[in-house]
């Protein structure tokens, strides 16, 4: 019977089995034996009825599909409203006297923050809260930026700290991973700018030395080991994902632009070092992600490993190989990567079944 199932059906069956085993453990903790089929069904019916009354839980497949659409609409609406606030201030800002500017900025920041707090208490689904929170963050960023320009304050990387703190406050209070990403980007920029300033570089020139982003990547990758995110599902994965982007993107730049490195070698040598480092980091993090059950780490590492590999193959063979042979080699490399990943998958499944 199992051989007649399609791949999708077999995958769904495997997922259901694991879900059933987790539910059996919960039922045992609730004092229900596995043999009590009628009691278990009644228990599940009561739970589903209770969950259906909550607007933030989907108990049917159709509801899950609609929820995905709501999330997409909420994300796009939040970006649109934030952009609208930005361009509104930018267009009419010079027309106001300084006193009105300060009042408008303070009122916009405090008002949108109060609106976010009010919606968070009343909007169990979180969609309207996300809209208000992102607008509040945009207003806060504009607040500091426009006040600085109005009073001729020299731009500083220190503004990134209150931006990050505000974004993280909203993210952890309202369970918003979008604002968590915004806060982590601000943290990454601040750490990179500080490292650049310590080396004697102007903070706005931080992008000229991609190695400035490595300390931020290491710090963010370690945070999930130190902070308990059990009440914030998905936050661990977000910290790790942003950390990997802060690691791999600078390495990718340096593997093709060795002159931007601090390493005291020729540009070609530096590029070779970072190309090798990209391969090693990609392979190790792929193994670590599979070992620890971190799909975001494994998938990101695989993507960048393939990018590093294809970039190197392009440098080596694009100019000297016939185009059909070059793409044939790329296809064979892809097959090799698939075989390696299948082997790794088989090992992890064997370990998981023990």
**Does residue 9 have a pLDDT over 50?**
yes
Please count the CA atoms within 13 angstroms of the CA of 238 that sit on its side-chain side.
19
At 35, is the pLDDT very low, low, confident or very high (cuts 50, 70, 90)? low
Q: What is the reported pLDDT for 1?
A: 45
What average pLDDT does this structure show over 119-140? 81
Give the whole-number percent of the chain exceeding pLDDT 90. 20
Q: How far apart are CA 141 and CA 134, in angstroms?
A: 11
Give the whole-number percent of the chain exceeding pLDDT 70. 79
Segment 288-344, tens digit of pLDDT: 988 888 889 988 998 898 888 888 777 777 767 777 777 777 788 778 877 777 777
Share the mean pLDDT of the chain: 79
Going from the C-alpha of 180 to that of each of 81, 165, 187, 284, the distances in angstroms are 18, 10, 10, 26
DSSP 41-77: HHHHHHHHHHHHTSTT---SHHHHHHHHHHHHHHHHH
Q: What is the reported pLDDT for 38?
A: 67
At 124, is the pLDDT very low, low, confident or very high (cuts 50, 70, 90)? low
Of 5-19, 34-48, 129-143, 247-261, least confident by mean pLDDT is: 5-19
Q: Please, where are the H alpha helices in 199-294?
A: 214-226, 235-254, 267-292
Phi, psi of 199 (to 5 degrees): -90, 5
**Does residue 279 have a pLDDT over 90?**
no
At 244, is the pLDDT very low, low, confident or very high (cuts 50, 70, 90)? very high
The answer to whether 164 and 186 are in contact (CB under 8 A) is yes
CA-closest candidate to residue 88, choices 61, 69, 112, 72: 112
Q: Between 335 and 124, name the one with better pLDDT.
A: 335
Segment 70-86, tens digit of pLDDT: 677 777 777 787 777 77
Q: How far apart are CA 22 and CA 10, in angstroms?
A: 19
At 223, is the pLDDT very low, low, confident or very high (cuts 50, 70, 90)? very high
Handedness of CA 175, 176, 179, 184 (dihedral sign): positive
Q: Which residue do the tokens 């399609």 mark? A: 6
Segment 15-26, tens digit of pLDDT: 666 677 677 777
Q: How far apart are CA 192 and CA 213, in angstroms?
A: 5
At 134, is the pLDDT very low, low, confident or very high (cuts 50, 70, 90)? confident
Handedness of CA 127, 131, 134, 140 (dihedral sign): negative
The answer to whether 137 and 166 are in contact (CB under 8 A) is yes
What pTM was estimated for this model as a whole? 0.74
Segment 196-207, tens digit of pLDDT: 888 778 877 777
The answer to whether 144 and 159 are in contact (CB under 8 A) is yes
Each domain of the chain, given as residue ranges in start order, spans: 1-53, 74-175, 186-354
């Amino acid at each position: 019977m199992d051989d007649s199932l399609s791949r999708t059906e077999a995958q769904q069956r495997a997922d259901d089995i694991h879900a059933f085993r987790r539910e059996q453990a919960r039922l045992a903790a609730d004092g229900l034996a596995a043999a009590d089929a009628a009691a278990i069904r009644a228990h599940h019916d009561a739970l589903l009825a209770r969950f259906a009354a909550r607007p933030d839980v989907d108990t049917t497949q159709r509801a899950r599909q609609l929820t995905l659409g709501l999330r997409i609409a909420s994300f796009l609406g939040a970006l649109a409203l934030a952009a609208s606030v930005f361009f509104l201030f930018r267009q009419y800002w010079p027309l106001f006297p300084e006193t009105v500017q300060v009042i408008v900025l303070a009122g916009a920041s405090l008002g949108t923050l109060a609106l976010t707090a009010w919606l968070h208490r009343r909007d169990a689904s979180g969609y309207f809260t996300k809209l208000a929170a992102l607008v509040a963050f945009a207003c806060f960023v504009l607040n500091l930026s426009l006040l600085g320009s109005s009073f001729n304050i020299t731009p500083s990387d220190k503004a990134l700290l209150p931006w990050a703190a505000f974004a993280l406050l909203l993210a952890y209070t309202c369970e918003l991973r979008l604002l968590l990403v915004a806060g982590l980007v601000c943290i990454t920029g601040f750490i990179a700018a500080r490292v650049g300033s310590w080396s004697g570089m102007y903070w706005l020139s931080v992008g000229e030395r991609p190695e400035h982003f490595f300390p931020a990547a290491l710090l963010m990758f370690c945070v999930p080991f130190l902070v308990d995110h059990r009440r914030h599902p998905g936050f661990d994965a977000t910290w790790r994902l942003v950390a990997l982007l802060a690691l791999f993107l600078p390495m990718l730049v340096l593997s093709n632009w060795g002159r931007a490195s601090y390493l005291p070698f020729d540009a070609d040598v530096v590029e070779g070092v970072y190309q090798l480092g990209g391969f090693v980091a990609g392979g190790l993090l792929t193994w670590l992600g599979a070992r620890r059950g971190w799909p975001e780490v494994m998938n990101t590492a695989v993507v960048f490993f393939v990018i590093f590999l294809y970039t190197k193959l392009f440098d080596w063979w694009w100019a000297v190989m016939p185009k059909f042979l070059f793409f044939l080699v790329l296809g064979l490399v892809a097959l090799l990567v698939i075989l390696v990943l299948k082997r790794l998958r088989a090992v992890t499944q064997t370990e998981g079944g023990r």
